[in-house]
């Protein structure tokens, strides 16, 4: 269906039917999807246009979604989706960053013109780009409608990946493995941190044989030294140290589908305590992957991991994993299930998670993560990189 030929028309139709079933169950006539990953998943739309208001509308009585976006980006919708021309609706260019008027004034007008002004409308209250101003102008323009948070309805529909999606995610895993190995090969004492990051970017975009790479939803993260005690630092142009730790978290991306991975490097001879911690983390991941079978729950995977940590007098208070797949900046997570206590989401074949296995203490941290697919024999790892503390002498 899409102009880019990513998936078949039958797959897009199946996705739309699933979303409509979820809408009926939730009591919505219409949903407004501004999450760019949801827009792409529903229609194939792909463009770096999410910095301005845009969305895809799904109505129970419409056979196809409606793309609504900036006039300048309507050609992108024609090129990347298979939507008919009447379902591609641009808003006026003069509304871009207008101090008083807003693109969602015209969206409200579109909804009124369709006779949906008294609809039960579900909006994505947690979508990164659905701003308070978007919501205010939409609600103000549709006083007769009933609005509610749709609680990431489309995100949940994306949780189980199709065979076509899994093929792309596995290709992303190969790209990620190559990029991580290239980064590790480049990491030597005295090498500027940004040179390692440049190697990562090059490998991410070049991809592997037969599979070119795409940009990631999160830039490479590379805390060094004491910075490893917190997971979300980036890099500087300072040289890598003669001794101590560095952590890299990256993703490989294939046509917007992500597989993420984290590895920890030690420069010089590693203290035994660090090597032992790394072995515990890998053992905990293996226990979690063993539990990642259809019919088990998200919290059972986390409990298996925590049991290994507790036996070794370690702990991780934050969740240990989240779903990954189709994503745009600023995050490659899907904002649905979490591998943590209390999450009783039943695992199904084709769900994909990033098992973010790390332990962060006051002065340092070690992280050795895995992305995996839920499968009958347990979690299928998507990447293939040394699973231990990587020592660079």
Tens-of-pLDDT digits for all 393 residues of the chain?
Answer: 334 447 999 999 999 999 999 999 999 999 999 999 999 999 999 999 999 999 999 999 999 999 999 999 999 999 999 999 999 999 999 999 999 999 999 999 999 999 999 999 999 999 999 999 999 999 999 999 999 999 999 999 999 999 999 999 999 999 999 999 999 999 999 999 999 999 999 999 999 999 999 999 999 999 999 999 999 999 999 999 999 999 999 999 999 999 999 999 999 999 999 999 999 999 999 999 999 999 999 999 999 999 999 999 998 889 999 999 999 999 999 999 999 999 999 999 999 999 999 999 999 999 999 999 999 999 999 999 999 999 998
Tokens 């660090």, residue located: 274
Domains of the chain, residue spans: 9-157, 163-392
Phi first, then psi: what are they for 128, rounded to 5°?
Answer: -60, -30
Nearest CA to 103 out of 65, 142, 54, 147 is that of 54
The answer to whether the CB of 77 falls within 8 A of the CB of 67 is: yes
**What CATH code would you report for 9-157?**
3.40.350.10
Nearest CA to 149 out of 124, 169, 166, 182 is that of 124
Instruction: Tell me, yes or no, if the two domains 9-157 and 163-392 fold the same way.
Output: no
* pLDDT for residue 333: 97
* pLDDT for residue 5: 47
What's the DSSP call for residue 313? T
d(C-alpha 302, C-alpha 298), whole Å: 7
Nearest CA to 130 out of 220, 26, 31 is that of 31
Q: Where are any strands of DSSP class E within 255-324?
A: 257-267, 321-323
Nearest CA to 220 out of 194, 241, 187, 238 is that of 194
Fold of 163-392: Creatine Amidinohydrolase (3.90.230)
Contacts of 219 (CB under 8 A, 6+ apart): 234
């Amino acid at each position: 269906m899409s102009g880019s030929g990513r998936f078949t028309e039958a797959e897009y139709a199946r996705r739309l039917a699933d979303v409509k079933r979820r809408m009926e169950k939730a009591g919505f006539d219409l949903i407004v999807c501004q999450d760019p990953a949801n827009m792409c998943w529903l229609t194939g739309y792909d463009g770096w246009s999410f910095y301005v208001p845009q969305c895809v509308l799904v109505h129970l009585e419409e056979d196809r979604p409606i793309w609504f976006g900036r006039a300048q980006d309507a050609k992108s919708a024609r090129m990347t989706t298979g939507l008919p021309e009447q379902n591609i609706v641009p808003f006026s260019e003069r509304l871009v960053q207008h101090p008083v008027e807003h693109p969602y004034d015209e969206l409200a007008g579109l909804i009124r013109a369709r006779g949906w002004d008294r609809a039960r409308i579900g909006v994505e209250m947690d979508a990164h780009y659905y701003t308070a101003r978007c919501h205010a102008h939409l609600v103000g323009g549709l006083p007769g409608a009933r609005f509610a948070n749709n609680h990431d309805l489309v995100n949940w529909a994306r949780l189980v990946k199709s065979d076509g999606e899994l093929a792309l995610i596995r290709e992303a895993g190969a790209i990620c493995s190559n990029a991580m190995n290239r980064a590790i090969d480049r990491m030597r004492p005295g090498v500027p941190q940004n040179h390692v990051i440049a190697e990562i970017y090059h490998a991410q975009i070049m991809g592997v044989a037969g599979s070119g790479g795409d940009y990631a939803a999160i830039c490479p993260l590379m805390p060094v030294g004491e910075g490893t005690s917190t997971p979300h630092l980036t890099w500087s142009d300072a040289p890598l140290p003669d001794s101590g730790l560095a952590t890299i978290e990256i993703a490989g991306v294939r046509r917007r589908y992500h597989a993420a991975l984290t590895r920890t490097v030690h420069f010089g001879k590693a203290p035994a305590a660090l090597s032992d911690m790394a072995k515990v983390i890998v053992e905990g991941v293996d226990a979690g992957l063993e539990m990642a079978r259809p019919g088990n729950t998200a919290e059972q995977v986390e409990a298996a991991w925590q049991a290994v940590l507790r036996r070794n007098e370690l702990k991780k208070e934050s969740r240990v994993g989240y779903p990954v797949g189709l994503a745009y900046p600023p995050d490659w997570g899907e904002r649905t299930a979490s591998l943590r206590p209390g999450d009783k989401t039943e695992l199904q074949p084709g769900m994909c998670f990033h098992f973010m296995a790390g332990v962060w203490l006051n002065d340092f941290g070690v992280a050795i993560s895995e992305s995996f697919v839920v499968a009958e024999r347990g979690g299928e790892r998507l990447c293939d990189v040394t699973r231990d503390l990587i020592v660079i002498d």
